Chains A and B, each alone.
Chain A
Amino acid sequence: MATTKEKAMQITGAEAVIRCLLAEGVDLIYGYPGGAIMPIYDELYKFQDQLDHVLTRHEQGATHMAQGYARTSGRVGVAMATSGPGATNLVTGIADAQIDSTPMVCITGQVASHLLGSDAFQETDIIGISTPVTKWNYQITKASEIPEIMAKAFYIARSGRPGPVLIDITKDAQFENLDFAYKKCEGVRSYKPVPSLQISQVEAAVAAINQAKQPMIVWGQGVILGAAEEAFKHFVEHSGIPAVWTILGLSALPTKHPLNMGMVGMHGNYGPNLLTNECDVLIAIGMRFDDRVTGNLATYAKQAKVVHLEIDPAEISKNVHADYPILADCKESLLALTERVQPKELTEWKARFTEYMETEYETVIKGDTQPTKDGLTMGEAIVAINKHTKGDAVIVTDVGQHQMIACRYAEFIRSKSNVTSGGLGTMGFALPAAIGAKMGAEERHVVAVIGDGGYQMTIQELGTIFQTGVAVKIVVLNNDYLGMVRQWQQLFFDKRYASTEMTNPDFVTIAKGYHIEAQRVTERGQLDAAVKAMITSDKPYFLEVCVEKEDNVFPMIPTGASVSDIRLK
């Protein structure tokens, strides 16, 4: 790691914060000003030629933007807010980043240190509040602590299994002077971000894999976070083992890769779920066996030997017992595995996936993507997006039916193209995350696919889009319902639709109020042209697609059921 050591100079704590950000290569932050962080905003004003600040419409939006930015750029996202409500509004995004391992540094202002604990105006214990949802947090009360702590914050956020770090800075520390010199953090003695690969673990796993007759790979976001896409592809191609993905692993391997067999989990593909309980060796790579992936653990892959490639020791045997854990950076373990694993044909085994896919196609996919009924489906909207982006867009999704449909049917040819709130399931994530995603990958098409419910949770960020001109494409799949909850009410609560029907506003008028070009599609015949107009526009664009009100997402593994009990209808 490069060491940048500047000559010591007397500056304020607030200026030191900005200089630390610059030293970390940050050129863009998201935030919202307020009393306790004004000294830092004052410095932002002075440094605006070097450091862009995007003024969001709510602090939650700042965190999701920082997340979207981190997910497409691979860099650390930075969000900033004032004390009290500013800080508490960050919490949802921080929790989201924690559970989805997104590198993020949040900086909050705090009341002056002599007021701490006095219930001062806009004082809140954000360190206490954010502790369970941060990888690390720290309260700075002296300006002299700023360089070292900021360096540590970035190091911790990005290293090992990434995550969010919150740094709370009292107002007096922002005003105070310090002798500033910045040195990048190169290690923390109590923290070992990457376990050292043990070849004995690799060899034990290889022996199991080489003997396997029906092996299956399940990969997760670790492949993307570890920048291991190439190593992963080589491993898959060399071994010949069929591979399936978790929602956050999506896009690490191109959709049309012949060994990409689809998604596992609650609304994943039929074959991958059923064959989880038939494979003899399950090779899990950078994934954590979330309950939405495993269904009932007591009946999950009991017949299989589990190989688990993982960077975080706490994930080993947390939910599913790992017979062969390989603790290391997954790029390194994948290279070591590829060197040793013998290639396999697996013709019959792979045919099982294809057969199940044919069944799923006939019963579910065909109707979703090439409907013959009158009403529009979410699936056909995704197909139209695929067509006009040629599978080379970043698809940002919110949470619910549209998310599952988008992840099932969106096509990808490049990694870091799927941005969604997986672990926390944060409605309201997509619109701000798409803004950050676009800023993190300016040359790419960024399409936010959102439901009418989640869209209205952070709809105010249309203001940020208007003010910055960021060319995100927003597709609201509107069924006038909180669709996923309604689906559960239909299936498990005898159609008692408690508080899931939405009386929605005129979304097109709202977008136009923010001077965003907007269109509404209500009939099949309009869809293709509308999506084309949206994609070819070089400006922000809003498209409302009014879809069938009571469509359901299938296949589905009901909560608590086994992956073997996946339902096609």
Chain B
Amino acid sequence: MTENNRYTISIYSENNIGLLNRVSAIFLKRHINIDSFSTSQSEIQDVFRFVIVVEVTEDKVKKLVQQIEKQIDVIKAYYHTDEETIYQESALYKVKSSYLFEERQIQNIIKDSHANIVTVSPEFFVIEKTGFRSETEKLRKELAPFGLLQFVRSGRISVTKSKMGISELLETFKKNN
């Protein structure tokens, strides 16, 4: 309970303006840095999903989840360890096109990393790699000597190994109301 650990917080919520602010304020108030943050549509129509990664104690993450769930527009929040989730990050790498032809090594790097080429234009080409942080990071390091024009990595997205049961939860909410 007293050791810091990496936790993925998953939030199912309404898609309302201002909720992002409300959720991030919970971290701000407790002086907790957010390692990664991503939001998207969830498996349920009209239900939004947040995936937030933090490094804190289990006691702290429990309390964060309690505070998040307390927010009116939040349907349900959970926290999971890395072992309990399947998670990935996506990265984009923009490189000068000339290197693709001049530096044979680049082609090998791309092939070995199982990255995809998203687009090629006369000036630049864009590589996409989805995987663990270590994989996108390895590719970044390998491409760096060739001069990356741009690099960007998404926040973690994750699904849990266990069932979430949000649809069932919404059904019981409907009955209670």
List residues of A whose CB falls within 8 A of some B CB.
127-128, 131-132, 135-139, 156, 186-192, 312-314, 316-318
Which residues of chain B are near A138, meaning CB under 8 Å?
16, 18
Which residues of chain A are near B174, meaning CB under 8 Å?
189
Is B89 in the interface zone, CB < 8 Å from A?
no
Closest Cβ neighbor of B26 among chain A residues:
A132
Instruction: Report the bound CA distance from A476 to B25 in whole Å.
Output: 38
Which residues of chain B are near A128, meaning CB under 8 Å?
18, 21
Closest Cβ neighbor of B46 among chain A residues:
A189
Judged by DSSP, the binding face of B is helix
Which residues of chain B are near A132, meaning CB under 8 Å?
22, 25, 28-29
Instruction: Give chain B nearest CB distance to A101 CB in angstroms.
Output: 12
Inter-subunit contact A131/B18 (CB<8 Å) = yes
List residues of B whose CB falls within 8 A of some A CB.
13-14, 16-18, 21-22, 25, 28-29, 62-63, 66-67, 69-70, 72-75, 170, 173-174, 176-177
Which residues of chain B are near A191, meaning CB under 8 Å?
72-73
Which residues of chain B are near A188, meaning CB under 8 Å?
72, 177
Instruction: Report the bound CA distance from A312 to B63 in whole Å.
Output: 12
Instruction: Give chain B nearest CB distance to A265 CB in angstroms.
Output: 22
Instruction: Give chain A nearest CB distance to B175 CB in angstroms.
Output: 10
Inter-subunit contact A189/B66 (CB<8 Å) = no
Instruction: Report the bound CA distance from A186 to B67 in whole Å.
Output: 23
Instruction: Report the bound CA distance from A316 to B70 in whole Å.
Output: 12
Inter-subunit contact A156/B18 (CB<8 Å) = no
Inter-subunit contact B18/A127 (CB<8 Å) = yes
Inter-subunit contact B25/A190 (CB<8 Å) = no
Question: Which of B14, B21, B28, B29 is the one whose CB lies under 8 Å from A190?
Answer: B14
Which residues of chain A are near B173, meaning CB under 8 Å?
187, 189-190, 192
Instruction: Report the bound CA distance from A309 to B55 in whole Å.
Output: 31
Inter-subunit contact A313/B72 (CB<8 Å) = no
Closest Cβ neighbor of A128 among chain B residues:
B21
Instruction: Give chain B nearest CB distance to A275 CB in angstroms.
Output: 28
Instruction: Give chain B nearest CB distance to A11 CB in angstroms.
Output: 26
Inter-subunit contact A139/B177 (CB<8 Å) = no
Q: Name, among B16, B22, B74, the residue most crowded by chain A CB atoms within 10 Å (CB to CB).
A: B22
Which residues of chain A are near B28, meaning CB under 8 Å?
132
Contact status of A156 and B22, CB under 8 A, knowing A190-B14, A313-B66, A314-B67: no
Which residues of chain B are near A192, meaning CB under 8 Å?
173, 176
Inter-subunit contact A189/B17 (CB<8 Å) = no
Instruction: Report the bound CA distance from A518 to B98 in whole Å.
Output: 89
Which residues of chain B are near A312, meaning CB under 8 Å?
70
Inter-subunit contact B69/A186 (CB<8 Å) = no
Closest Cβ neighbor of A312 among chain B residues:
B70
Which residues of chain A are near B29, meaning CB under 8 Å?
132
Inter-subunit contact B176/A313 (CB<8 Å) = no
Sample (27) of A-B pairs whose CB atoms are under 8 Å apart: A127-B21, A128-B18, A131-B21, A131-B25, A132-B28, A135-B72, A136-B72, A136-B73, A137-B18, A138-B16, A186-B177, A188-B72, A188-B177, A189-B75, A189-B173, A189-B174, A189-B177, A190-B13, A191-B72, A191-B73, A192-B173, A192-B176, A312-B70, A313-B66, A313-B69, A314-B66, A314-B70
Which residues of chain B are near A135, meaning CB under 8 Å?
72
Which residues of chain A are near B14, meaning CB under 8 Å?
189-190
Inter-subunit contact A187/B176 (CB<8 Å) = yes
Question: Which of B25, B63, B170 is the one whose CB lies under 8 Å from A189?
Answer: B170
Contact status of A190 and B177, CB under 8 A, knowing A127-B18, A128-B21: no
Instruction: Report the bound CA distance from A397 to B63 in whole Å.
Output: 32
The 3 closest A-B pairs by CB, nearest first: A187-B177, A314-B66, A190-B75
Which residues of chain B are near A189, meaning CB under 8 Å?
14, 75, 170, 173-174, 177
Instruction: Report the bound CA distance from A488 to B176 in whole Å.
Output: 51
Instruction: Report the bound CA distance from A120 to B148 in whole Å.
Output: 42
Closest Cβ neighbor of B70 among chain A residues:
A314
Instruction: Report the bound CA distance from A137 to B73 in whole Å.
Output: 10
Which residues of chain A are near B25, meaning CB under 8 Å?
131-132
Inter-subunit contact A318/B66 (CB<8 Å) = yes
Instruction: Give chain A nearest CB distance to B68 CB in angstroms.
Output: 9
Closest Cβ neighbor of B23 among chain A residues:
A131
Which residues of chain A are near B176, meaning CB under 8 Å?
187, 192
Closest Cβ neighbor of A132 among chain B residues:
B25
